[in-house]
Structure 1
Protein backbone atom coordinates (compact mmCIF):
# COMPACT_ATOMS: atom_id res chain seq x y z
CA UNK A 1 0.00 0.00 0.00
CA UNK A 2 1.36 3.43 -0.96
CA UNK A 3 1.29 5.38 2.31
CA UNK A 4 1.53 8.72 0.48
CA UNK A 5 -1.97 8.22 -0.93
CA UNK A 6 -3.52 6.12 1.86
CA UNK A 7 -5.54 7.24 4.85
CA UNK A 8 -5.84 6.46 8.54
CA UNK A 9 -8.49 7.50 11.06
CA UNK A 10 -7.33 9.04 14.35
CA UNK A 11 -10.08 9.88 16.83
CA UNK A 12 -12.58 10.34 14.00
CA UNK A 13 -10.34 12.51 11.80
CA UNK A 14 -9.13 11.13 8.45
CA UNK A 15 -5.41 11.80 8.04
CA UNK A 16 -2.80 10.79 5.48
CA UNK A 17 -1.00 7.62 6.55
CA UNK A 18 2.30 8.52 8.14
CA UNK A 19 0.86 11.58 9.89
CA UNK A 20 2.18 11.89 13.47
CA UNK A 21 -0.58 11.03 15.94
CA UNK A 22 1.21 10.11 19.21
CA UNK A 23 3.46 11.99 21.61
CA UNK A 24 6.18 10.63 23.87
CA UNK A 25 3.84 10.92 26.85
CA UNK A 26 1.10 8.76 25.35
CA UNK A 27 0.06 6.01 27.76
CA UNK A 28 -0.67 3.59 24.94
CA UNK A 29 2.95 3.98 23.84
CA UNK A 30 4.44 4.01 27.33
CA UNK A 31 2.54 1.15 28.91
CA UNK A 32 0.55 -0.68 26.24
CA UNK A 33 -2.50 0.81 27.98
CA UNK A 34 -5.18 -0.31 25.56
CA UNK A 35 -6.59 -3.04 23.36
CA UNK A 36 -7.33 -3.69 19.71
CA UNK A 37 -9.53 -5.50 17.23
CA UNK A 38 -8.43 -7.11 13.97
CA UNK A 39 -11.43 -7.19 11.64
CA UNK A 40 -12.18 -8.56 8.20
CA UNK A 41 -14.19 -6.35 5.85
CA UNK A 42 -15.68 -8.24 2.93
CA UNK A 43 -17.79 -6.52 0.25
CA UNK A 44 -18.32 -3.51 2.47
CA UNK A 45 -19.38 -5.47 5.57
CA UNK A 46 -17.54 -6.35 8.79
CA UNK A 47 -17.52 -10.11 9.24
CA UNK A 48 -18.76 -11.12 12.71
CA UNK A 49 -19.42 -7.46 13.41
CA UNK A 50 -21.45 -7.93 16.60
CA UNK A 51 -18.91 -10.32 18.12
CA UNK A 52 -16.10 -7.81 17.50
CA UNK A 53 -17.93 -4.93 19.13
CA UNK A 54 -19.08 -7.12 22.04
CA UNK A 55 -15.45 -8.01 22.74
CA UNK A 56 -14.22 -4.45 22.24
CA UNK A 57 -16.68 -2.90 24.68
CA UNK A 58 -16.28 -5.70 27.23
CA UNK A 59 -12.52 -5.15 27.14
CA UNK A 60 -12.90 -1.39 27.47
CA UNK A 61 -15.11 -1.81 30.52
CA UNK A 62 -12.62 -4.24 32.08
CA UNK A 63 -9.75 -1.79 31.47
CA UNK A 64 -11.81 1.05 33.02
CA UNK A 65 -12.16 3.22 29.95
CA UNK A 66 -14.80 5.93 30.11
CA UNK A 67 -16.99 5.21 27.09
CA UNK A 68 -18.40 8.44 25.59
CA UNK A 69 -21.93 8.50 24.10
CA UNK A 70 -20.53 8.84 20.56
CA UNK A 71 -18.54 5.62 20.98
CA UNK A 72 -21.17 3.28 19.56
CA UNK A 73 -20.91 0.23 17.27
CA UNK A 74 -22.86 2.07 14.58
CA UNK A 75 -20.58 5.12 14.63
CA UNK A 76 -17.39 3.06 14.71
CA UNK A 77 -18.61 0.76 11.95
CA UNK A 78 -19.37 3.78 9.77
CA UNK A 79 -15.85 5.14 10.28
CA UNK A 80 -14.26 1.76 9.54
CA UNK A 81 -16.19 1.32 6.31
CA UNK A 82 -15.52 4.90 5.21
CA UNK A 83 -11.81 4.39 5.73
CA UNK A 84 -11.93 1.20 3.65
CA UNK A 85 -13.73 3.13 0.93
CA UNK A 86 -11.19 6.00 0.99
CA UNK A 87 -8.36 3.47 0.67
CA UNK A 88 -10.20 1.46 -2.04
CA UNK A 89 -10.12 -1.60 0.23
CA UNK A 90 -13.86 -2.23 0.53
CA UNK A 91 -13.95 -5.52 -1.45
CA UNK A 92 -11.62 -7.29 1.00
CA UNK A 93 -9.62 -5.69 3.80
CA UNK A 94 -7.83 -6.30 7.05
CA UNK A 95 -8.67 -3.59 9.59
CA UNK A 96 -6.81 -2.83 12.80
CA UNK A 97 -8.81 -0.80 15.32
CA UNK A 98 -6.71 0.24 18.34
CA UNK A 99 -8.11 1.87 21.50
CA UNK A 100 -5.68 3.44 23.96
CA UNK A 101 -5.45 6.00 26.70
CA UNK A 102 -3.76 9.27 25.78
CA UNK A 103 -1.87 11.75 27.93
CA UNK A 104 -2.14 11.98 31.69
CA UNK A 105 -0.34 10.37 34.59
CA UNK A 106 3.21 9.07 34.69
CA UNK A 107 2.06 6.04 36.68
CA UNK A 108 -1.63 6.23 37.60
CA UNK A 109 -3.88 7.30 34.77
CA UNK A 110 -5.52 10.72 35.05
CA UNK A 111 -7.73 10.55 31.96
CA UNK A 112 -9.97 7.55 31.23
CA UNK A 113 -11.17 8.75 27.83
CA UNK A 114 -10.43 6.48 24.86
CA UNK A 115 -8.32 7.50 21.90
CA UNK A 116 -8.40 5.33 18.81
CA UNK A 117 -6.61 4.65 15.55
CA UNK A 118 -7.97 2.76 12.53
CA UNK A 119 -5.81 1.36 9.71
CA UNK A 120 -6.71 -0.81 6.70
CA UNK A 121 -4.79 -3.11 4.36
CA UNK A 122 -6.04 -4.79 1.17
CA UNK A 123 -6.43 -8.57 1.07
CA UNK A 124 -6.87 -11.11 -1.72
CA UNK A 125 -9.11 -14.21 -1.59
CA UNK A 126 -5.98 -16.31 -1.10
CA UNK A 127 -5.26 -14.40 2.13
CA UNK A 128 -8.45 -15.67 3.75
CA UNK A 129 -8.80 -19.11 2.12
CA UNK A 130 -8.04 -22.43 3.75
CA UNK A 131 -4.34 -23.23 3.69
CA UNK A 132 -3.26 -25.83 1.12
CA UNK A 133 -0.22 -26.89 3.16
CA UNK A 134 -0.73 -27.82 6.81
CA UNK A 135 0.97 -25.76 9.49
CA UNK A 136 3.96 -26.99 11.47
CA UNK A 137 3.68 -25.83 15.08
CA UNK A 138 5.22 -26.31 18.52
CA UNK A 139 5.06 -24.66 21.96
CA UNK A 140 7.02 -21.55 22.91
CA UNK A 141 9.15 -22.50 25.96
CA UNK A 142 10.12 -19.00 27.14
CA UNK A 143 7.02 -17.66 28.88
CA UNK A 144 3.50 -18.34 30.13
CA UNK A 145 0.14 -16.57 30.23
CA UNK A 146 -1.82 -15.88 33.39
CA UNK A 147 -5.33 -17.29 33.77
CA UNK A 148 -7.23 -14.16 34.75
CA UNK A 149 -9.79 -12.00 32.96
CA UNK A 150 -7.12 -9.72 31.50
CA UNK A 151 -5.66 -12.71 29.65
CA UNK A 152 -8.84 -12.92 27.55
CA UNK A 153 -8.48 -9.31 26.34
CA UNK A 154 -6.92 -8.63 22.93
CA UNK A 155 -4.49 -6.33 24.66
CA UNK A 156 -1.79 -3.98 23.37
CA UNK A 157 0.51 -5.79 25.84
CA UNK A 158 1.62 -8.29 23.20
CA UNK A 159 5.20 -9.07 24.25
CA UNK A 160 4.78 -12.79 25.00
CA UNK A 161 3.21 -13.36 21.59
CA UNK A 162 5.93 -11.32 19.88
CA UNK A 163 8.62 -13.48 21.45
CA UNK A 164 6.70 -16.66 20.59
CA UNK A 165 6.40 -15.53 16.96
CA UNK A 166 10.14 -14.81 16.84
CA UNK A 167 10.81 -18.26 18.28
CA UNK A 168 8.60 -19.79 15.57
CA UNK A 169 10.48 -17.99 12.82
CA UNK A 170 13.89 -18.91 14.25
CA UNK A 171 12.88 -22.58 14.43
CA UNK A 172 11.21 -22.81 11.00
CA UNK A 173 7.73 -23.14 12.45
CA UNK A 174 4.50 -21.67 11.07
CA UNK A 175 3.19 -20.73 14.53
CA UNK A 176 3.79 -21.35 18.22
CA UNK A 177 1.35 -22.29 20.94
CA UNK A 178 1.62 -20.57 24.32
CA UNK A 179 1.46 -22.22 27.73
CA UNK A 180 -0.59 -20.89 30.60
CA UNK A 181 0.72 -20.79 34.17
CA UNK A 182 -0.30 -24.44 34.68
CA UNK A 183 1.74 -25.58 31.64
CA UNK A 184 -1.44 -26.24 29.71
CA UNK A 185 -2.12 -24.79 26.26
CA UNK A 186 -3.82 -21.38 26.10
CA UNK A 187 -3.70 -20.30 22.42
CA UNK A 188 -1.17 -19.41 19.72
CA UNK A 189 0.55 -16.17 18.72
CA UNK A 190 -2.38 -15.05 16.53
CA UNK A 191 -5.07 -17.69 16.93
CA UNK A 192 -7.21 -19.89 19.14
CA UNK A 193 -6.54 -23.60 19.35
CA UNK A 194 -8.90 -26.48 18.49
CA UNK A 195 -8.34 -30.20 18.15
CA UNK A 196 -10.51 -33.09 16.96
CA UNK A 197 -10.70 -36.57 18.47
CA UNK A 198 -13.29 -39.13 17.32
CA UNK A 199 -15.22 -36.32 15.53
CA UNK A 200 -15.52 -34.43 18.83
CA UNK A 201 -14.06 -30.91 18.81
CA UNK A 202 -12.17 -29.52 21.80
CA UNK A 203 -10.77 -26.08 22.64
CA UNK A 204 -9.22 -24.56 25.77
CA UNK A 205 -11.81 -22.79 27.92
CA UNK A 206 -11.27 -19.07 28.41
CA UNK A 207 -10.37 -19.75 32.04
CA UNK A 208 -7.18 -21.31 30.60
CA UNK A 209 -5.87 -17.85 29.64
CA UNK A 210 -6.46 -17.59 25.89
CA UNK A 211 -7.72 -14.52 24.06
CA UNK A 212 -11.51 -14.50 23.60
CA UNK A 213 -11.43 -14.92 19.83
CA UNK A 214 -14.43 -13.93 17.73
CA UNK A 215 -14.01 -16.87 15.33
CA UNK A 216 -13.71 -19.15 18.35
CA UNK A 217 -17.00 -17.77 19.67
CA UNK A 218 -18.65 -18.25 16.27
CA UNK A 219 -17.53 -21.87 16.01
CA UNK A 220 -18.64 -22.74 19.53
CA UNK A 221 -22.14 -21.70 18.49
CA UNK A 222 -22.09 -23.13 14.95
CA UNK A 223 -20.28 -26.47 15.26
CA UNK A 224 -23.00 -28.46 17.10
CA UNK A 225 -25.61 -27.63 14.47
CA UNK A 226 -23.17 -28.82 11.79
CA UNK A 227 -22.85 -32.20 13.51
CA UNK A 228 -19.66 -31.61 15.46
CA UNK A 229 -20.07 -31.63 19.26
CA UNK A 230 -17.68 -29.11 20.80
CA UNK A 231 -16.22 -29.03 24.31
CA UNK A 232 -14.33 -26.36 26.26
CA UNK A 233 -11.77 -27.92 28.59
CA UNK A 234 -8.13 -27.77 29.70
CA UNK A 235 -5.83 -28.96 26.89
CA UNK A 236 -2.43 -30.52 27.41
CA UNK A 237 0.44 -31.28 25.06
CA UNK A 238 -0.51 -34.96 25.30
CA UNK A 239 -4.05 -34.16 24.17
CA UNK A 240 -2.67 -32.64 21.00
CA UNK A 241 -0.23 -35.49 20.42
CA UNK A 242 -3.13 -37.96 20.58
CA UNK A 243 -5.52 -35.86 18.45
CA UNK A 244 -6.86 -36.84 15.04
CA UNK A 245 -6.65 -33.25 13.76
CA UNK A 246 -5.61 -29.81 15.00
CA UNK A 247 -6.60 -26.42 13.65
CA UNK A 248 -6.15 -22.75 14.56
CA UNK A 249 -8.72 -19.96 14.17
CA UNK A 250 -8.77 -16.19 13.92
CA UNK A 251 -10.93 -13.44 12.46
CA UNK A 252 -8.95 -13.04 9.23
CA UNK A 253 -7.92 -16.57 8.29
CA UNK A 254 -10.96 -18.35 9.68
CA UNK A 255 -9.44 -21.83 9.98
CA UNK A 256 -5.89 -23.01 9.35
CA UNK A 257 -5.28 -26.74 9.67
CA UNK A 258 -2.15 -28.16 11.27
CA UNK A 259 -0.16 -31.00 9.70
CA UNK A 260 2.54 -31.45 12.34
CA UNK A 261 2.99 -30.95 16.09
CA UNK A 262 6.17 -32.49 17.44
CA UNK A 263 6.08 -36.20 16.56
CA UNK A 264 2.40 -36.22 15.58
CA UNK A 265 1.17 -35.84 12.00
CA UNK A 266 -2.37 -34.90 11.02
CA UNK A 267 -4.61 -34.72 8.00
CA UNK A 268 -6.93 -31.81 7.50
CA UNK A 269 -9.99 -33.69 6.24
CA UNK A 270 -12.49 -32.73 8.96
CA UNK A 271 -10.99 -29.24 9.29
CA UNK A 272 -11.65 -28.74 5.57
CA UNK A 273 -15.23 -29.90 6.01
CA UNK A 274 -15.75 -27.44 8.87
CA UNK A 275 -14.23 -24.66 6.79
CA UNK A 276 -16.41 -25.45 3.77
CA UNK A 277 -19.60 -25.72 5.81
CA UNK A 278 -19.17 -22.83 8.23
CA UNK A 279 -16.43 -20.39 7.16
CA UNK A 280 -16.18 -20.28 3.37
CA UNK A 281 -19.51 -18.56 2.79
CA UNK A 282 -19.45 -16.43 5.92
CA UNK A 283 -20.11 -12.80 5.03
Structure 2
Protein backbone atom coordinates (compact mmCIF):
# COMPACT_ATOMS: atom_id res chain seq x y z
CA UNK A 1 0.00 0.00 0.00
CA UNK A 2 1.26 3.49 -0.89
CA UNK A 3 -0.14 7.00 -1.06
CA UNK A 4 -0.14 8.92 -4.34
CA UNK A 5 -1.48 12.47 -4.09
CA UNK A 6 -3.78 11.47 -1.24
CA UNK A 7 -5.12 8.27 -2.78
CA UNK A 8 -4.16 4.91 -1.26
CA UNK A 9 -3.11 2.41 -3.92
CA UNK A 10 -1.86 -1.16 -4.01
CA UNK A 11 1.83 -1.89 -4.54
CA UNK A 12 1.24 -3.15 -8.10
CA UNK A 13 -0.79 -0.10 -9.20
CA UNK A 14 0.94 1.94 -11.92
CA UNK A 15 1.22 5.71 -11.44
CA UNK A 16 4.36 6.88 -13.28
CA UNK A 17 4.47 7.79 -16.95
CA UNK A 18 7.50 7.88 -19.21
CA UNK A 19 7.85 11.66 -18.79
CA UNK A 20 7.98 11.61 -15.00
CA UNK A 21 10.60 14.19 -14.02
CA UNK A 22 11.71 12.30 -10.93
CA UNK A 23 12.59 9.39 -13.20
CA UNK A 24 13.94 11.28 -16.21
CA UNK A 25 15.65 14.23 -14.52
CA UNK A 26 16.06 13.32 -10.86
CA UNK A 27 13.76 16.29 -10.24
CA UNK A 28 12.51 15.23 -6.81
CA UNK A 29 13.24 15.66 -3.10
CA UNK A 30 12.31 13.43 -0.21
CA UNK A 31 12.22 12.98 3.55
CA UNK A 32 12.82 9.65 5.26
CA UNK A 33 11.39 9.46 8.76
CA UNK A 34 10.17 7.15 11.48
CA UNK A 35 6.61 6.65 12.68
CA UNK A 36 6.28 5.00 16.10
CA UNK A 37 2.86 4.05 17.53
CA UNK A 38 1.14 6.52 15.23
CA UNK A 39 3.51 9.39 16.04
CA UNK A 40 5.83 10.96 13.46
CA UNK A 41 9.31 11.43 14.96
CA UNK A 42 10.82 14.91 14.41
CA UNK A 43 7.83 15.85 12.24
CA UNK A 44 8.38 19.63 12.43
CA UNK A 45 12.05 19.35 11.48
CA UNK A 46 11.31 17.07 8.53
CA UNK A 47 8.49 19.31 7.33
CA UNK A 48 10.58 22.48 7.50
CA UNK A 49 13.47 20.82 5.68
CA UNK A 50 11.13 19.57 2.95
CA UNK A 51 9.66 23.07 2.50
CA UNK A 52 13.16 24.56 2.36
CA UNK A 53 14.27 21.99 -0.24
CA UNK A 54 11.21 22.67 -2.40
CA UNK A 55 11.81 26.42 -2.26
CA UNK A 56 15.49 26.04 -3.18
CA UNK A 57 14.45 23.92 -6.18
CA UNK A 58 11.71 26.45 -7.09
CA UNK A 59 8.89 23.97 -6.77
CA UNK A 60 5.38 25.32 -6.32
CA UNK A 61 4.18 24.62 -2.78
CA UNK A 62 0.38 24.16 -2.62
CA UNK A 63 -1.47 26.32 -0.09
CA UNK A 64 -2.75 23.22 1.72
CA UNK A 65 0.73 21.72 2.10
CA UNK A 66 0.95 22.43 5.83
CA UNK A 67 2.71 20.38 8.50
CA UNK A 68 -0.68 19.02 9.56
CA UNK A 69 -1.36 17.97 5.96
CA UNK A 70 1.98 16.17 5.70
CA UNK A 71 1.31 14.36 8.98
CA UNK A 72 -2.18 13.39 7.88
CA UNK A 73 -0.94 11.95 4.58
CA UNK A 74 1.79 9.98 6.36
CA UNK A 75 -0.57 8.55 8.98
CA UNK A 76 -3.22 7.78 6.37
CA UNK A 77 -0.66 5.50 4.74
CA UNK A 78 0.86 4.04 7.91
CA UNK A 79 -2.26 3.33 9.94
CA UNK A 80 -3.48 0.70 7.50
CA UNK A 81 -0.87 -1.51 9.20
CA UNK A 82 -2.09 -0.71 12.73
CA UNK A 83 -0.98 1.72 15.44
CA UNK A 84 1.63 -0.51 17.07
CA UNK A 85 3.74 -1.01 13.95
CA UNK A 86 6.96 1.02 13.68
CA UNK A 87 7.39 2.29 10.15
CA UNK A 88 10.05 3.76 7.92
CA UNK A 89 8.35 6.36 5.73
CA UNK A 90 9.64 7.99 2.57
CA UNK A 91 7.77 11.13 1.54
CA UNK A 92 8.83 12.00 -2.03
CA UNK A 93 7.84 15.17 -3.88
CA UNK A 94 8.46 15.49 -7.61
CA UNK A 95 7.77 18.22 -10.15
CA UNK A 96 5.04 17.50 -12.68
CA UNK A 97 5.99 17.28 -16.36
CA UNK A 98 4.87 19.25 -19.42
CA UNK A 99 4.28 17.81 -22.87
CA UNK A 100 7.83 18.83 -23.74
CA UNK A 101 10.14 16.67 -21.61
CA UNK A 102 12.60 19.53 -21.09
CA UNK A 103 10.01 21.95 -19.75
CA UNK A 104 9.29 22.12 -16.05
CA UNK A 105 5.80 22.47 -14.63
CA UNK A 106 6.44 23.81 -11.14
CA UNK A 107 3.36 22.12 -9.69
CA UNK A 108 4.12 18.98 -7.70
CA UNK A 109 2.89 15.50 -6.91
CA UNK A 110 3.86 13.34 -3.95
CA UNK A 111 4.27 9.68 -3.07
CA UNK A 112 4.34 8.22 0.45
CA UNK A 113 5.83 4.74 0.77
CA UNK A 114 6.44 2.68 3.90
CA UNK A 115 8.29 -0.34 5.25
CA UNK A 116 8.32 -1.99 8.67
CA UNK A 117 11.09 -1.33 11.20
CA UNK A 118 11.90 -3.95 13.84
CA UNK A 119 12.49 -1.59 16.78
CA UNK A 120 10.69 1.59 17.86
CA UNK A 121 13.86 2.94 19.52
CA UNK A 122 17.25 3.84 18.11
CA UNK A 123 19.54 0.91 18.91
CA UNK A 124 23.34 1.07 18.87
CA UNK A 125 24.48 -2.15 17.21
CA UNK A 126 27.67 -3.78 18.49
CA UNK A 127 28.44 -5.46 15.16
CA UNK A 128 31.65 -4.92 13.22
CA UNK A 129 31.29 -1.97 10.84
CA UNK A 130 34.25 -1.39 8.56
CA UNK A 131 34.57 1.55 6.17
CA UNK A 132 36.90 2.78 3.45
CA UNK A 133 37.23 5.97 1.44
CA UNK A 134 35.24 6.09 -1.80
CA UNK A 135 37.52 7.86 -4.26
CA UNK A 136 35.98 7.04 -7.64
CA UNK A 137 33.76 10.13 -7.56
CA UNK A 138 33.57 13.27 -5.44
CA UNK A 139 30.58 15.23 -4.18
CA UNK A 140 30.72 18.92 -5.09
CA UNK A 141 30.22 21.33 -2.22
CA UNK A 142 27.13 23.48 -2.87
CA UNK A 143 23.70 24.17 -1.44
CA UNK A 144 22.28 21.43 -3.68
CA UNK A 145 24.59 18.93 -1.98
CA UNK A 146 22.85 19.65 1.33
CA UNK A 147 19.49 18.42 -0.03
CA UNK A 148 18.02 14.92 -0.07
CA UNK A 149 17.18 14.57 -3.77
CA UNK A 150 16.57 11.45 -5.85
CA UNK A 151 19.87 12.06 -7.65
CA UNK A 152 21.83 9.47 -5.63
CA UNK A 153 24.00 7.88 -8.31
CA UNK A 154 27.20 8.50 -6.31
CA UNK A 155 25.67 6.64 -3.36
CA UNK A 156 24.50 3.80 -5.59
CA UNK A 157 27.92 3.28 -7.19
CA UNK A 158 29.60 3.71 -3.81
CA UNK A 159 27.45 1.00 -2.22
CA UNK A 160 28.28 -1.37 -5.07
CA UNK A 161 31.97 -0.66 -4.48
CA UNK A 162 31.50 -1.33 -0.76
CA UNK A 163 29.72 -4.63 -1.44
CA UNK A 164 32.39 -5.74 -3.91
CA UNK A 165 35.12 -5.09 -1.36
CA UNK A 166 33.32 -6.36 1.78
CA UNK A 167 32.97 -2.96 3.45
CA UNK A 168 29.89 -2.01 5.43
CA UNK A 169 30.00 1.59 4.24
CA UNK A 170 32.25 4.10 2.52
CA UNK A 171 33.24 7.67 3.36
CA UNK A 172 32.45 10.32 0.77
CA UNK A 173 34.88 13.08 -0.23
CA UNK A 174 34.19 16.50 -1.72
CA UNK A 175 36.21 18.04 -4.55
CA UNK A 176 38.73 19.31 -2.00
CA UNK A 177 39.21 15.69 -0.88
CA UNK A 178 37.77 16.37 2.56
CA UNK A 179 35.65 13.73 4.29
CA UNK A 180 32.07 15.06 4.36
CA UNK A 181 29.81 12.09 5.18
CA UNK A 182 29.35 8.38 4.62
CA UNK A 183 27.13 6.76 2.01
CA UNK A 184 24.72 6.09 4.87
CA UNK A 185 24.60 9.44 6.67
CA UNK A 186 26.43 12.30 8.38
CA UNK A 187 29.74 11.62 10.10
CA UNK A 188 31.18 12.59 13.49
CA UNK A 189 34.83 12.18 14.54
CA UNK A 190 36.00 12.12 18.16
CA UNK A 191 39.58 12.74 19.27
CA UNK A 192 40.09 13.14 23.01
CA UNK A 193 37.47 15.68 24.13
CA UNK A 194 36.83 17.19 20.68
CA UNK A 195 33.91 16.06 18.51
CA UNK A 196 34.06 17.21 14.90
CA UNK A 197 31.55 17.10 12.09
CA UNK A 198 31.93 18.76 8.67
CA UNK A 199 30.17 22.09 8.08
CA UNK A 200 27.34 22.27 5.54
CA UNK A 201 29.58 24.43 3.35
CA UNK A 202 31.73 21.33 2.72
CA UNK A 203 28.78 19.73 0.91
CA UNK A 204 27.42 17.27 3.48
CA UNK A 205 23.74 16.44 3.79
CA UNK A 206 21.76 18.78 6.02
CA UNK A 207 20.48 15.83 8.04
CA UNK A 208 17.77 16.09 10.68
CA UNK A 209 19.70 13.89 13.11
CA UNK A 210 22.88 15.84 12.38
CA UNK A 211 21.16 18.90 13.83
CA UNK A 212 19.78 16.93 16.79
CA UNK A 213 23.12 15.34 17.69
CA UNK A 214 24.86 18.72 17.42
CA UNK A 215 22.31 20.13 19.87
CA UNK A 216 22.89 17.22 22.27
CA UNK A 217 26.70 17.42 22.08
CA UNK A 218 26.62 21.20 22.63
CA UNK A 219 25.14 20.55 26.09
CA UNK A 220 27.84 18.05 27.14
CA UNK A 221 30.34 19.62 29.54
CA UNK A 222 33.15 17.15 28.82
CA UNK A 223 33.29 17.67 25.04
CA UNK A 224 33.94 20.51 22.61
CA UNK A 225 31.93 20.48 19.38
CA UNK A 226 33.59 21.73 16.20
CA UNK A 227 31.97 22.10 12.78
CA UNK A 228 35.18 21.93 10.78
CA UNK A 229 36.49 20.14 7.72
CA UNK A 230 37.81 16.63 8.25
CA UNK A 231 40.93 15.48 6.42
CA UNK A 232 41.35 11.78 5.57
CA UNK A 233 44.62 11.93 7.57
CA UNK A 234 42.61 12.57 10.74
CA UNK A 235 40.70 9.31 10.48
CA UNK A 236 43.48 7.09 11.80
CA UNK A 237 44.22 9.51 14.65
CA UNK A 238 40.62 9.52 15.87
CA UNK A 239 39.44 7.62 18.92
CA UNK A 240 35.94 7.12 17.58
CA UNK A 241 33.89 7.54 14.40
CA UNK A 242 30.16 7.24 13.92
CA UNK A 243 27.56 8.04 11.30
CA UNK A 244 23.94 9.04 11.79
CA UNK A 245 20.71 9.05 9.82
CA UNK A 246 17.03 9.48 10.65
CA UNK A 247 16.18 5.80 10.25
CA UNK A 248 19.10 3.95 11.89
CA UNK A 249 20.09 6.58 14.42
CA UNK A 250 23.77 6.24 15.40
CA UNK A 251 26.01 3.69 13.66
CA UNK A 252 29.43 3.14 15.25
CA UNK A 253 32.31 2.61 12.84
CA UNK A 254 34.57 -0.09 14.26
CA UNK A 255 37.38 -0.16 11.68
CA UNK A 256 39.03 1.95 8.99
CA UNK A 257 42.07 0.30 7.43
CA UNK A 258 44.26 -0.74 10.41
CA UNK A 259 42.57 1.57 12.88
CA UNK A 260 40.06 0.09 15.34
CA UNK A 261 37.66 2.46 17.12
CA UNK A 262 35.81 2.52 20.43
CA UNK A 263 32.13 3.48 20.77
CA UNK A 264 32.12 5.21 24.15
CA UNK A 265 30.64 8.52 22.95
CA UNK A 266 28.08 6.81 20.74
CA UNK A 267 26.85 4.79 23.74
CA UNK A 268 26.54 8.00 25.71
CA UNK A 269 24.55 9.70 22.97
CA UNK A 270 22.07 6.98 21.98
CA UNK A 271 19.89 7.36 25.08
CA UNK A 272 19.87 11.13 24.73
CA UNK A 273 18.85 10.79 21.09
CA UNK A 274 15.92 8.54 22.02
CA UNK A 275 14.91 11.07 24.67
CA UNK A 276 14.97 13.85 22.04
CA UNK A 277 12.80 11.70 19.76
CA UNK A 278 10.24 11.18 22.52
CA UNK A 279 10.36 14.90 23.33
CA UNK A 280 9.55 15.78 19.70
CA UNK A 281 6.37 13.72 19.97
CA UNK A 282 5.30 15.21 23.30
CA UNK A 283 5.78 18.75 21.96
CA UNK A 284 3.59 17.95 18.97
CA UNK A 285 0.85 16.74 21.32
Considering the TM-score relative to the shorter chain, is it more than 0.5? yes
Q: Per the alignment, in what secondary structure is the counterpart of residue 226 of structure 1?
A: coil
Alignment match of 2:207 (pick from 189, 209, 213): 213
Aligned equivalent of 1:122: 116
Task: Note if contact 1:147-1:209 (Cα within 8 Å) is conserved in structure 2.
Answer: yes
Aligned equivalent of 1:107: 102
Q: Which runs of 5 or more structure 1 residues have no equivalent in the other structure?
A: 1-6
Alignment match of 1:276 (pick from 271, 275, 284): 271
Matches of 1:205 and 1:163, distance apart in 2:
24
Aligned equivalent of 2:50: 56
- 1:43 matched to 2:37: yes
Matches of 1:201 and 1:87, distance apart in 2:
40
Query: How much has 1:90 moved relative to structure 2?
Result: 4.9
Matches of 1:208 and 1:192, distance apart in 2:
12
- Deviating above 4 A after TM superposition, structure 1's stretches of 4 or more consecutive aligned residues are none
Aligned equivalent of 1:4: none
Aligned equivalent of 2:242: 247
Aligned equivalent of 1:74: 68
Matches of 2:71 and 2:211, distance apart in 1:
20
Matches of 2:189 and 2:50, distance apart in 1:
27
Aligned equivalent of 1:261: 256
- 1:192 matched to 2:219: no
TM-score of the pair, normalised by structure 2: 0.93
Q: Which runs of 5 or more structure 2 residues have no equivalent in the other structure?
A: 279-285
Aligned equivalent of 2:11: 17
CA distance change for structure 1 residues 221 and 126 in 2, over 3 Å: closer, same or farther?
closer
Alignment of 1:223-238 (within 5 A): 223-227=217-221, 228-238=223-233
Matches of 2:103 and 2:199, distance apart in 1:
32
TM-score of the pair, normalised by structure 1: 0.93
